[in-house]
Structure 1
């Protein structure tokens, strides 16, 4: 029956699946069953579709193209930094005077007795010398307060020990610190037997000239530099030559490094040198802008100083033109005519100043300007003014 054929076709379609074509010879007439169409290729089935039970063949895939290897970049060449010089270890502070010795010093006395001071005060009241003295002090102060473009270095030396060299250096440094506004430096270039720290009243020492030669650098400020120095009254600082050790040495290279480096920080530097003809003393005299030669007001002191001045006459002219001799009177009644000796020394072309006898200076120890005799203070101010003017002439 025709209906039976249709029933069989339906069953076969159910068995093959609703999407499959009917079996050959079981379907109805050709008008009721469409002809089979070719199946297009199926793309690869994702994993989710494979899990549903329908197996599909994946399409061939091309191997991945390898990425180009990175070109190695050369590491930047590092220029080795030169090692910084090691700074010396900070030395321990040392007392200038041993405690057992400091107790032996007596009370300092004034440079003049009371009767001499009273007589001078009366003369100033009844005479017109007071006005002249004030005018002279005004001119001296104006000379000492002149500005400087570069630091002035003044070297103080002598022919022999005991000539008052350290005392003169202390008087000069104190005068400059009193009258000037810029910083003042006092340098001890006599490390073996120097007594400048004691004369200036320093209590302890730490850094020395040789130490600072390895420390000071161009980028340091004045505050950095003064941290290695000894603070003095007013605006003055001290650079010791040693800590009081016998036999301490200072070579010329260390001295030159220190003085060149410190020159830009201080308006005036006073150097207490070794006695001639020591090597550092010769270097200091040639490098300074003015020189002071201390000599005792004795016959042998004047004789040796005159011989040195005659030798200096054979050097370049600026050497003796920039030299001032200081005759220090060690006793109240000297054994020579001091003024006549000074005139003989001036005949060589050098300037000469006489430092009068002063009990306070003769006793040694720390210098206290308020205890100095008035003639000593005036003589120190005149000396400081002339030496400073000589240093200004040589640039």
Structure 2
């Protein structure tokens, strides 16, 4: 079947088939050029909505040309909700055999973020001095509980050393696995390996190791600055984190070595007026003695060593020390810690455990910097 537009001459009127060029004297004469048939309609296939278009440099393809999806266009791993570990969420997950997973609670997510901060890498070794001018405020307890928290969360070696020249009690807060002291360690000239040092320490269930000071209060030979420097020089070869439980004085010989060797200090105070004044005086003394770097990086711990309410405004006290240090943490009263015996993390109540892991995370925030003398703020891990 032929169409009338198959022959282009059929579109020309018969009286114009022989028409020539246009003449002004004869307006009816003009040229009519043959025209072809109209273009046939060819439908354009639709572009699938999910087809990616090239929007950047792509070899052999033009901008806007559909291409085969690459790995960058695919979601290879679907997000998986973590299994809840406590509360009604855990119960629902267990009763449904995992078919219903309500995910982690805000508490669990925050706890996981704190653990990630505690696990920050330590470059070399990190030395923390725990001190207080006033006795009975929880300095030794803070040293052991913080060290135990760090050791239980991290996979490296953590040790607490008793540098109290006046019969320190650090060893009483851990297991009694050896009667050796720091003095015995210094007398051993054959130490070559970690196992050699381990013979002089006691290790708790948390993996925290404790090195005791001289147990005889009548010992005439005091723990000196040179003694402390020798101990630290030895321990930093085998341990990643070294905590030093200092005495209550700042003027004894060993204290100079402690402060010179420390990367950071933790200043422990009580929620009482005399404790706060002593802590403030300690910061002043450190600044005047040239330890501004330690003051700037200091973490103040307000430890409630006694049950019941206090007459002090805790919030106001913490705000004051916040203006003078890097961070301030409050440790609530805990029946287990008040016993004065070996510190076991699992026996502390949950609020106390949470307080110490928050303290450990704050301390660990400074681990990522090679120059540990100056703290640089970082964004907490999410």
TM-score bucket (shorter structure): 0.5 to 0.7
Q: Deviations over 1:113-161 (max 9, x none)?
A: xxxxxxx979x99xx9x72221221121111112223111111111111
Runs of 4+ in 1 over 6 A off after TM superposition: none
Separation in structure 1 between the aligned mates of residue 291 and residue 346 of structure 2, nearest angstrom: 40
SS in 1 for 2:366: helix
Separation in structure 2 between the aligned mates of residue 301 and residue 192 of structure 1, nearest angstrom: 20
Is 1:192–1:247's contact at 8 Å kept on the other side of the alignment? no
Give 1:272 deviation, angstroms.
0.8
316 and 282 in structure 1: CA distance in 2 versus 1, 3 angstrom threshold: closer
Give 1:267 deviation, angstroms.
1.1
Is 1:144–1:385's contact at 8 Å kept on the other side of the alignment? yes
Tell me which residue corresponds to 2:142: 168
Separation in structure 1 between the aligned mates of residue 330 and residue 189 of structure 2, nearest angstrom: 38
Is 2:225–2:256's contact at 8 Å kept on the other side of the alignment? no
Q: Deviations over 1:351-374 (max 9, x none)?
A: 211111112222322212112111
Find 1:268's aligned residue among 220, 241, 263.
Answer: 241
Separation in structure 2 between the aligned mates of residue 282 and residue 339 of structure 1, nearest angstrom: 33
Find 1:237's aligned residue among 209, 219, 243.
Answer: 209
Find 2:307's aligned residue among 331, 347, 363.
Answer: 331
Is 2:121–2:368's contact at 8 Å kept on the other side of the alignment? no
Is 2:300–2:325's contact at 8 Å kept on the other side of the alignment? no
121 and 311 in structure 1: CA distance in 2 versus 1, 3 angstrom threshold: farther
316 and 285 in structure 1: CA distance in 2 versus 1, 3 angstrom threshold: closer
Q: Which has the larger radius of gyration?
A: 1
Separation in structure 2 between the aligned mates of residue 269 and residue 386 of structure 1, nearest angstrom: 16
Correspondence 1:360 to 2:319: no
Give 1:245 deviation, angstroms.
3.2
Tell me which residue corresponds to 1:390: 366
* Number of residues of Structure 1 aligned to a counterpart in Structure 2: 273
Give 1:282 deviation, angstroms.
3.4
Correspondence 1:349 to 2:325: yes
Is 1:298–1:334's contact at 8 Å kept on the other side of the alignment? yes
Separation in structure 2 between the aligned mates of residue 145 and residue 153 of structure 1, nearest angstrom: 16
Separation in structure 2 between the aligned mates of residue 237 and residue 348 of structure 1, nearest angstrom: 32
Is 1:151–1:268's contact at 8 Å kept on the other side of the alignment? yes
Give 1:246 deviation, angstroms.
4.3
Which runs of 5 or more residues in structure 2 are unaligned? 1-85, 92-101, 373-382
Correspondence 1:185 to 2:130: no
Tell me which residue corresponds to 1:308: 282
Tell me which residue corresponds to 1:27: none
262 and 355 in structure 1: CA distance in 2 versus 1, 3 angstrom threshold: same
Give 1:312 deviation, angstroms.
3.3
The CA RMSD over aligned residues, in Å, is 2.7
Correspondence 1:320 to 2:295: yes
Q: Deviations over 1:191-249 (max 9, x none)?
A: 4231111112x2254221122123255x7011222122223324332211122534562
Is 1:154–1:290's contact at 8 Å kept on the other side of the alignment? yes
User: Where does 1:269-284 land on structure 2 (aligned, <5 Å)?
Assistant: 269-277=242-250, 278-284=252-258
Correspondence 1:140 to 2:142: no
Tell me which residue corresponds to 2:230: 257
Which runs of 5 or more residues in structure 1 are unaligned? 1-119
Separation in structure 2 between the aligned mates of residue 337 and residue 316 of structure 1, nearest angstrom: 29
225 and 337 in structure 1: CA distance in 2 versus 1, 3 angstrom threshold: same
Separation in structure 2 between the aligned mates of residue 247 and residue 327 of structure 1, nearest angstrom: 33
SS in 1 for 2:293: helix
Is 1:322–1:391's contact at 8 Å kept on the other side of the alignment? no
Separation in structure 2 between the aligned mates of residue 167 and residue 281 of structure 1, nearest angstrom: 19
Is 2:118–2:361's contact at 8 Å kept on the other side of the alignment? yes
121 and 280 in structure 1: CA distance in 2 versus 1, 3 angstrom threshold: farther
Separation in structure 1 between the aligned mates of residue 185 and residue 178 of structure 2, nearest angstrom: 13
